[in-house]
Chain A
């Protein structure tokens, strides 16, 4: 800060401090007045800076007992400020830098580690290379996994196809066997029917012959009877 600079003295904010905004502050109350008012109110808070004509930022470790204050007859509102840091967690990764060191034993039985800039650069490069190698190894591992998957996939598919083919074959054989059985049974049934029919025809023919023979003898008797007229008193004589 140069001697001719103007500035508004502001207190530092602790890491565990919460920032609060005081709204509706009386216009005539400055920083010292606000500090005094906060003390009187029993809140251990420190004014940081003004945010407007009637707004002040304060930092405090604890919450105020009341979210309202009355300073010089004006009601002041106390609201916490939502820090963006709280909303978005930041992950910081520590980076380990390897430095090649040469351990040399000194005459006083002390070991001193020495390193030159070149060694540091080498170490940085090797670190960089190691990172690259790690990345490459990871990539290779990923690719080999993918390749294994690719190789395994056709085998699995082939096995599946073989299995399905065998099942189809079995089903086909079973169906063929069934069809043979059905054919045999149909043929047998047909033969049985034919035999039965033939037997029936034979029987029928024999019966017919027998019946016709009987009929012929009856006809002969009837003709003989017709040839000799009967003495019928009621018949009309011509």
Chain B
């Protein structure tokens, strides 16, 4: 059984605070951490933990994630649109004004 890695949650929030695009944030997590399979599901879990369970369209990550990256049903631009829209309205501990630039 797995548990949330708080370091990933913190990193996601930090990246969002810098105004990084969601697709880039996801790529960074995949590069830095050796997530278990299904990796998309672990990404989604940490995204919820970082930005709240009322987040909408987080499941677009499942459509975006495919190996190799970039071959999923959803493009970077699409996942940026869906997740960025939510990030703009979401609230999380330490949210900065730069994070509002999403979408």
Question: Are A and B bound to each other?
Answer: no
B residues in contact (CB < 8 Å) with A = none
